[in-house]
Amino acid sequence: MGKNKLEKFADMASYPHVFEYPYSAVDNVPFDMKGKWHEEFFKNDHPIVLELGCGRGEYTIGLGKMFPEKNFIAVDIKGARMWTGATESLQAGMKNVAFLRTNIEIIERFFAEGEVSEIW
């Protein structure tokens, strides 16, 4: 039997590569890593690729494995779905994959100008 939503949310709260900011578009909560993804999370200067609407994150995981010279950030608001990819990438020890749970409408709050190389 699979985990329920609350168990998945509890798991992801402890994952070092998952960032959860499911605030509504009217909240203006600052994101401390904006402009610092390379130095503070990925610890490299590889290009950052966003996958918007990642669902379970399978595509992001696959790309991360195929292109270790790039960093991938999967973005979605549905945390229970995102748990699948976040768990798989954590168990695989992937260092070039992260997950951001937020509304895509406010994505500019999380990245500085020029910080993202590609958007899928």
Mean pLDDT (10-residue bins), the chain, 120 residues: 75 90 68 93 98 95 97 93 94 97 90 96
What is the model's pLDDT at position 1? Answer: 42
CATH number of the domain where residue 88 is located: 3.40.50.150
**Closest listed residue to residue 97, CA positions, set 62, 70, 72:** 72
Structural domain total, the chain: 1
Total residues belonging to the chain? 120
Residue 60 domain boundaries: 5-119
Taking the complete model, does pTM exceed 0.85, yes or no? yes
